[in-house]
Structure 1
Amino acid sequence: MLRLSTETATLRLAQPFRISGYVFETAEVLVVTLDDGTHRGRGEGAGAYYLGDDLAKMLADVETARTAVEAGPTREQLRALMPAGGARNAVDAALWELEARRSGTPVWRLAGLSEPPRPIVTTFTVSADTPDAMAAVARGYARARSIKVKLTGELALDLARVAAIREARPDVWLGVDGNQGFARKELDALVEGLLPHRVSLLEQPLARGAEAALDGYRSAIAIAGDESLLTLDDVAGAVGRFDVVNIKLDKCGGLTEGLLMAAEARRRGLGVMVGTMIGTSLATAPGFVLGQLADLVDLDGPTFLAEDRAPGVRYDDGLLYAGAEVWGG
């Protein structure tokens, strides 16, 4: 039998983080530990705010499944025992690490990777603010190779923000995240306004539930689905609407489901992106494993925190690396 324990933490952000419709100053996370008396595994979940998957729900989901989890399910069995979301993400990560420690086999090998994980390019996100302030932040990411810009659905202001950042950083790959802030009738003007600034990705421009409005839409900039694409079941519906699937472990319920989503996205000719909610290095490390299989990686969550866990992931020269000392060894 396993012993399941939980901890909660309120993470303080170094600066307020603004996206379309929300401003975040803290983030609440759930940490799950599974202990068999000899070995233990850990996982962190934050849930998805727009789904109401908050700390109270995550704790309730864990308690509902406690007896079944302490009986020691496989990771595949866990997908049927718990709903997708932050709680299952935390338990799933704990099962991965527990298996790695029991077997002496690192998570990356258990996940089917043929070689040890390499440092990967990650985006660094610029929170919505005035154009000048956002340009200053972009310049502050001096070694970033890839930057993602948070938009708010205010078309003229958003284009001014992107223009300012591109002027400040002519060297980087640039993507933007609409966070559901735009209407279908604004898409043509948005895309046309982004093209001169060499924007390579437009993430979730329309509201979740409005995906059908993208049927037949041809964009000169690749469109990624985030809030619209939660789990494996949603990948098929992305075809003809999105070009890229943004997989977040807090949405889909963990690395186990994330790997399945990546494989299915590839099978259907879609690009793979790995993203994250705001969390510590413990939450980022499983995404780093999945990021080895991705086209785009957006795993900068710990960079927004006033204080991260130690040991933590490393950011250097625009690259992310999560060693076995962080998680999954």
Structure 2
Amino acid sequence: MALTLDARRETLRLAAPFRISGHVFEETEVVVVTLSDGTHRGRGEGGGVYYLHDDAETMMADIEAARSRIEAGIDRTALQALMPAGGGRNAVDCALWDLEAKQKGMPVWQLAGVPEPRPVVTTFTLGADSPEKMAAGASAYADARAIKVKLTGELDLDIARVQAIRAARPDVWLGVDANQGFTLGELGDLAAALDACRVLLLEQPLARGREADLDGFASPMPVAADESALTSADVPGLAGRFTVNNIKLDKCGGLTEALKIANASREAGLQVMVGNMVGTSLAMAPAFVLAQLCDFVDLDGPTFLAQDREPSVTYSHGTIWAGGDVWGGPDPA
């Protein structure tokens, strides 16, 4: 079935600067894809992956290179071979899922064979700042049941940050994201300090490419792969080094590959996490489908934006909910 493809860039303003290891973000560009069969329309949003130089220009170029094949009519399986993993394929893949839901009058979760969605607890992320400001930020997340802390690779300062946050919020589940900021020599001291603060997840402590350094490292808490795990091809190299695989649709190129990664990770004995790049509710909703299969959920991207899309996902009592009106539901009757 022939399709019409529309792809456009959008700039999303952040409500405040957001700092992680090595980067400060004040805005981000996304690509929104709309696919139409003349009767129904499906949409998808891709945010790309900054550390892979997968930006809006690259995403648009990937989409334009595949335009003729997509508009001639393509399914999600063929798309995996046609386009490289990344934000461009993510946008097209999610638009295909949404379009099929409209065509068949079935929600995406049924098409994907996942359990009927329910609200799930999500982490709310604290960008790196002074310990005092991060503690205040943790207190401001009054409804949060889970908080993720961005570290910068400054060992003593990072430990002070986590200690301040734990003192401010003794009640919450706490995880940290190192964003590749540490070396193996620092990891023992970091993990011990985190354990004393009852941190329950350590995400990507070492640089991508240094995965073998984790051989034999006994962590007191689960260690999640993020930058070290892009697609299903990376899963075999994770077992024995990581205990959790953080799946992001922008990294792997869409919900189709994300579901494949989740299954492969389970088979490899890994727990599964879903994360996000900063994006609107249109990007969170497909990941919310995957979240129904996950042990850890980090889908707070829209909370950093000056303005989200409507309709939007709902955050309530520390959970996220994405209805079919946001994405992936049948056309309204």
Asked if these proteins are the same fold (TM beyond 0.5), I'd say yes
Report deviation, 1:76.
Answer: 1.2
Alignment of 1:247-266 (within 5 A): 247-266=247-266
Cα distance in 1 between the residues matched to 2:70 and 2:214: 40
1:1-329 to 2 correspondence within 5 Å?
1-114=2-115, 116-329=116-329
**Cα deviation per residue 1:216-269 (whole Å; 9 max; x = unaligned)?**
211111100000000000011101110000000000000000000000101111
% identical aligned pairs: 66
Partner amino acid, structure 1, of 2:158: D
CA separation in 2, counterparts of 1:88 and 1:298?
21
The offset of 1:71, in angstroms, is 1.8
- Measure, in 1, the Cα distance between the counterparts of 2:107 and 2:71: 22
Structure 2 unaligned segments of length 5 or more: list them: none
CA deviation digits over 1:150-179, x for unaligned, max 9?
000000000000000000000000000000
1:303-327 deviations in Å (ceiling 9; x for gaps): 0000000110000000000000100
Distance 1:148 1:219 in 2: 18
Runs of 4+ residues over 3 Å off in structure 1? none
Please state whether the residue corresponding to 2:102 is helix, strand or coil: helix
Structure 1 counterpart of 2:293, one-letter code:
L
Deviation larger for 155-164 or 68-77: 68-77
Distance in structure 1 (CA, Å) of the matches to 2:275 and 2:293? 13
Number of equivalenced pairs? 328
* Corresponding residue SS for 2:229: coil
Q: CA deviation at 1:215?
A: 1.3
Whole-Å Cα distance in 1 between the matches of residues 160 and 126 of structure 2? 14
One-letter code of the match for 2:37? D
Deviations 1:84-126 (A, max 9, x none): 0000000000000000000001101001024x20000000000
Letter in 2 for 1:290: L
Q: TM-score, normalised by structure 2?
A: 0.98
Letter in 2 for 1:127: G
1:51 Cα offset (Å): 0.1
Q: Which consecutive residues of structure 1, in runs of 5 or more, have no partner in the other structure?
A: none
Which residue identity lines up with residue 149 of structure 1 in the other structure?
A: V
Q: Secondary structure at the match of 1:23?
A: strand
